[in-house]
Amino acid sequence: MPGIVKVSITFCLLAFVSGCETLQFYHQAARGQAALLWSRTPTNELLQSKIDPALRDRIEMAGDVLGFASQIGLPVSGAYLSYVATGEPYVVWNVFAAKPYESALKTSCFPVAGCVTYRGYFKRKDADSYANRLESKGYEVYVAGVAAYSTLGWFNDPLLDTFLFRSDEQLAALLFHELAHRVVYVRGDTRFNESLATTIELYALEQWLQTRDESDRFDRYRLSLARRASVIELIMLARHRLALLYDSGIPMAEMKVQKQSIFQEMRDAYSRLRETWAVGKEFYDWMQGPMSNAKLETVADYNEWVPLLTARLDKLGFEQFKRELARLASLSQPERDAELKAELNAKLNAELNGFKLAGNTSR
């Protein structure tokens, strides 16, 4: 997730043009970012001192991942060479919101990141307070904890206890994802930024596991990735069906019933899918909670363009793929969306026709 927190200088400039609520948001953002910067301890100092063996192991593992990232052409340049123990499960809480019968997420606009589809808060209570205000205005909201974010090279981002103690694969995936934001970042296009970061994350993780010659772990990763992709297809199909529903013009009462039916059919399809798995519970917890447009759109932000971008990466190779990303980034957002959506909609329409032929339509 790219950081929307930059420096208190920006906050001071905005004080002359922003409303009270926006000022409060920038104040907590600047304060939270500053607290992380002031709390950093260089990892080389930690490794030369007497520290918990588990912390030493994780710092060394992160160093291995960063070295590999640099080898394959990801811009590391000083990132993750310090450590902060926050004592919290997440560093930021993101608030996503959407209207009940619209797919688009509510956007918030900032000087550096542009318009993004969330607001990030360093304290859960502040996120919940903002979410409650949006709900009172008729929005559906989804609050999600975030273990890490990128400041896009503005600062040397530290390792955090919110993610450092994950498994080797999970730690590597997160670092690859955040470093990918430094490859290409388009102001105001969260979905493109997150999808390309997820694409690069998966590519780099596969390469890293192969170089470690851990065939069993690599095989488990491939199977987990396949399970995850199959669930994302169900979610993307549900989003596509909802978009068609919202554009149908049917009475609101009927639309409400059909909306819940689509959610339930997605859950039922997930249950049938899980029955085919020998192991794994990808998206299990996510599927159990309340469902909303905002919740589905968060998955889309991180994954919608991934299959399309992955196909281009496989065809072009990593270095040429980075040039392809630069080309896409040079387009206007309507041009970029049109190119990607045309390809994606053809795929989804084919899947929807198959879904209808199977007899799983809303009633």
Domain ranges of the chain: 197-363
Taking alpha carbons only, the member of 229, 144, 149 closest to residue 197 is 149
User: 3-state secondary structure string, 96-158?
Assistant: EEECCCCCCECCEEECCCEEECCEEECCHHHHHHHHHHHHHCCCEEEEEEECCCECCCCCCCC
Between CA 362 and CA 339 the distance in angstroms is: 30
Between CA 205 and CA 201 the distance in angstroms is: 6
**Beta bridge mates, 98:** 105, 140
What per-residue confidence (pLDDT) applies to 237? 94
Count of CB atoms within 10 A of residue 301's CB? 22
What per-residue confidence (pLDDT) applies to 110? 75
Predicted TM-score (pTM) of the model is 0.83
- Answer yes or no: is pLDDT of 291 > 90: yes
For the stretch 122-171, pLDDT in tens is 999 999 999 999 999 999 999 999 999 888 888 899 999 999 999 999 99
What per-residue confidence (pLDDT) applies to 346? 77
Between CA 181 and CA 198 the distance in angstroms is: 10
What per-residue confidence (pLDDT) applies to 359? 54
Q: Which residues make Cβ contacts (< 8 Å) with residue 204, sequence separation at least 6?
A: 68, 69, 72, 74, 172, 176, 180
Q: Which residues make Cβ contacts (< 8 Å) with residue 83, sequence separation at least 6?
A: 40, 41, 43, 46, 55, 59, 158, 159, 160, 161, 164
For the stretch 240-253, pLDDT in tens is 999 999 999 999 99
What per-residue confidence (pLDDT) applies to 154? 83
Rounded mean pLDDT, 5-10: 37
Rounded mean pLDDT, 300-306: 90
What per-residue confidence (pLDDT) applies to 12? 36
- Answer yes or no: is pLDDT of 358 > 80: no
**Beta bridge mates, 115:** 109
